[in-house]
Amino acid sequence: MTEEGTAVVRAVRGRPRSAAADRAIIGAVLRLLERGIGVGALSIEGIAREAGVGKATVYRRWPGKDELLLDVMRALDEPPPEVRGRSVREDLVEILEGLRRKGLAKRDSALLRTMMSHFHSHPRLWQEYHDTVIRARRETLHAVLRRGVAEGEIRADLDVELLGELFVGPMLSRALLHEWRELPEGLSEQIVDGVLDGARPRG
């Protein structure tokens, strides 16, 4: 198993019943994927056998493969950056840096690319991932922007959701849609400063 996979297994949130069993099952999925077994070819029986547990142990935690894969994806996902509240600009840079690092990780990780591709091709699974992971990150971004409005750093007439898309859109475009584009250090600052310049109060 790769160092990345090992670190991911350590990071997964265990259920109260048995964190060790959770780690074993998540680790089994990662090992099978690393061996080249496609996501579609994974079975609960094969995962349980690789993990050294019974199928019932898997089903007590996850009702099906999609739910298990969702937790695998969460484990592979880098934790969101800590928003420290020092300044609106610095918090926005931290949020975009998280996206930049995730984009770099996806390019370097065959596992993450495989999982992202599978999620994109399964709308229900992608929606669940969006609702439980992406939405929380988006709400963090919106909270920073609302703070910027309250503190007079951002115009009050701007739609927060649209403004949020202006900040993250360029990074997501490079990271996910145009993977040949570079994600250099300093890109987060360039995007934040450019958008903030247009979002500041006039006059």
The per-residue pLDDT for range 46-88, each reduced to its tens digit, is 999 999 999 999 999 999 999 999 999 888 887 777 788 889 9
The reported pLDDT for the residue numbered 11 is 42
Q: What is the mean pLDDT of residues 157-179?
A: 90
**Cβ distance 7 to 39 under 8 Å?**
no
Listed in order, the ranges of the chain carrying CATH 1.10.357.10 are 3-75, 79-199
Q: Which two tokens stand for residue 63?
A: 């009702």
Q: How confident is the model at residue 17 (pLDDT cuts 50, 70, 90)?
A: low
d(CA 47, CA 123): 23
Tell which wins on pLDDT, 129 or 79. 129
DSSP string, 129-141: HIIIIIHHHHHHH
- The CATH code for residues 3-75 is 1.10.357.10
Model pTM score: 0.75
CATH topology of domain 79-199: Tetracycline Repressor; domain 2 (1.10.357)
